Structure 1
Amino acid sequence: MALLLLGTFAPVRITPPDPPPAVSLIHFQPVPVEAGRPDDLRVGKLLFLGGWNMESNDWRFGGISAMHVDGGLVTAISDSGWLIRFPVPVAAGTQRARIEAVRKGSGAPVNKAQRDVESLIINGRTAWIGLERQNGVWRFALPEWRELGGARPAAMRKWEENNGPEAMVRLPDGRFIIFSEGDGGITEALMFPSDPSVPGARAIRMRYRPPAGYRITDATLLPDGRMLLLNRRISFVSGMKAKLAVAPVPPPRTGVLIAPQEIAAFAPPLTVDNMEAVSVTSEAGRTIVWLASDDNYMPLQRSLLLKFALEE
């Protein structure tokens, strides 16, 4: 467990010596929600629909810190700045993947401090990423992922290097809420009345209270407008744990506390790892929740993709 925890915070190689393969492949191996209990499919208010352990021939695959699922395609981003796209799996097998640097061009960053992506929003033909060590937000035009610009909002400048922007949601009216990872207690959240990737954007300071001992790792919106918040805990004693919680969008008021309600908890012997990414889709009128884990490019950890139906 000590090695696993060290791996969770170990630096990642940005440019290993070997070139990437000509064709990037991902192998999907089905996993149960709990080993030895294939018929026990419920985790809190979630119904397990499928899960896969993902492995690749491409060293750039892994480190998933945020993702967006839509139209049968997973768009994931690693905390080393790799954009990873692949089809949604339906069974065991191997699929082609497209992997490239999210920030391209002659001025593209080459060190982790400039490529540590922790949050992602895709809305129509525009995408936003949150860069943790720079405490910045950058905007891109899709589908080519052409960089449009970015900023380091003044309200985020004093966040510690490894504490944010860990999670980010965009509200239907164009406002953004960005969460600092924090240290396991009440942490800061910021509501931006306008696009935070535009220089000069101002923010309303709020607070977020995660489940005790947990840190937020990602967030998204549910179809009913509530926020779905993914939280993680790492312990030498109990290993990896995760909790999903929901909260209404807070009023635009300084100091307001976002206190979510837990809907699902993941702990061994359930299938769980360093859960860092959440996305929501709809199928036949059901709300589908997707979770993914960050393996930190470490052999003792896994890149998991888990699929659930939200049943409340």
Structure 2
Amino acid sequence: MRLRSAIQLITALLIAGSAQALDVKKAQWIGSYTLRHDAAWFGGLSALELSQGGQRATVLSDRATIATARIHREGDSITAVEIERNWPVRSSKDRPLLGPAGDSEGLAIADDGTIHISFEGVHRVARYTELGGRAHVLPRPAAFRDLAANGSFEALAIDGQGRLYTMPETNRTRDNRIPVYRWNGRDWSTPFTLPPRGGFLPVAADFGPDGRLYVLERKLSLIGFRARLRRWEIADGLPRAEETLFETNGGTHDNLEGLSVWRDEHGRLRATMISDDNFLPLQRTELVEYILPG
């Protein structure tokens, strides 16, 4: 995300910091880890995927870089993160992406290792058979053409059948709902919509090992970034049993934009999130983890 108002952002960061989570009765925060790396590309991390067991990660920067990392843990705590390799996100012509065309935001990795990335500057989803490889851009339906320039596909998820789901951050249907677009390998459809609540905007999504759809949402106020995680069961192709797992006050975490839901060695569901620092020194890149109810 490229924020529209630097003044509002800086004000929020300066006066935030002491806020606490509003409601973690359903999900339990277990820790945060600030990630640092000296490379020039590092920053703006907007998406991540963790392996089962939470030991390995793939992270995506919104300036068209993708990287792999190893996560070291002791008990429930992250003790170190090693960035291993990084690659430029490339175009269909096998060139590094630059400018708005390289505003890479969402990440979903299939069971066979195929990588999918959603883009916000030029609204599209692309498939990659390998890290650093050439893009295969999926067809762009008419519904993608008029989306907001800074408010489209930050969220991308893949279900157990290999179908992709994405949703715009700011655009809404005529009845003010969040449209969810699904790619089945042949074409796009809009199988359902989700209800927006309280001014939060969807910035990441994932299907957990329990088969439920998880959506991370963000809201910016004068006291910092707020975060919310909701989930739905998908039954007969439609969402039901909506739950709010947590909702934070401003400043509890930084600008959370990436989400991966996985099961740990004890069988517990975990949500790991990563923050986009917008390449600003006042912000930080942090990994934030919650234990989720089963």
CA contact (8 A) 1:226 1:247 kept: yes
Q: Does 1:224 align with 2:210?
A: yes
Partner residue, 2:268 = 286
Task: Find 1:103's aligned residue among 90, 94, 108.
Answer: 90
Cα separation, 1, equivalents of 2:104 and 2:19: 36
- TM value normalised by structure 2: 0.81
CA contact (8 A) 1:61 1:99 kept: no
- 1:226-285 residue CA offsets vs partner (Å, 9 max, x unmatched): 11110000012x321000011122655xxx788842110122463x11110110121121
Q: Does 1:136 align with 2:119?
A: no
State the percentage of identical aligned residues.
24
Partner residue, 1:53 = 34
- 1:183 is displaced (CA, Å) by 5.9
The total of aligned residue pairs comes to 272
CA contact (8 A) 1:4 1:300 kept: no
Matched residue type, 2:284: R
Task: Find 2:181's aligned residue among 157, 176, 190.
Answer: 190
Cα separation, 1, equivalents of 2:242 and 2:227: 14
5+ unaligned residues in a row in structure 1: which ranges? 9-33
Task: Find 1:177's aligned residue among 157, 160, 165.
Answer: 165
- 1:5 is displaced (CA, Å) by 3.8
Matched residue type, 2:177: I
5+ unaligned residues in a row in structure 2: which ranges? 12-16
Matched residue type, 2:61: S
- 1:308 is displaced (CA, Å) by 2.1
Matched residue type, 2:208: L
Task: Find 1:167's aligned residue among 150, 155, 161.
Answer: 155
Q: Superposition pairs for residues 1-312 of structure 1, below 5 Å?
A: 3=6, 5-6=8-9, 43-70=24-51, 72-90=55-73, 91-93=78-80, 95-103=82-90, 107-124=94-111, 125-142=113-130, 144-147=131-134, 149-154=136-141, 155-182=143-170, 186-192=177-183, 194-195=184-185, 201-204=187-190, 206-236=192-222, 238-249=223-234, 251-252=236-237, 260-268=242-250, 270=252, 272-283=253-264, 284-312=266-294
- 1:51-73 residue CA offsets vs partner (Å, 9 max, x unmatched): 11112211211111111011511
| 1:217 to 1:96, Cα distance in 2 relative to 1, 3 A | closer
Shift >6 Å, 4+ stretches? 34-37, 256-259
By relative contact order (CA 8 Å, sep 6+), the higher-ranking structure is 2
- TM value normalised by structure 1: 0.77
Alpha-carbon RMSD across the aligned residues, in angstroms, is 3.0
Cα separation, 2, equivalents of 1:94 and 1:223: 24
- 1:148 is displaced (CA, Å) by 5.1
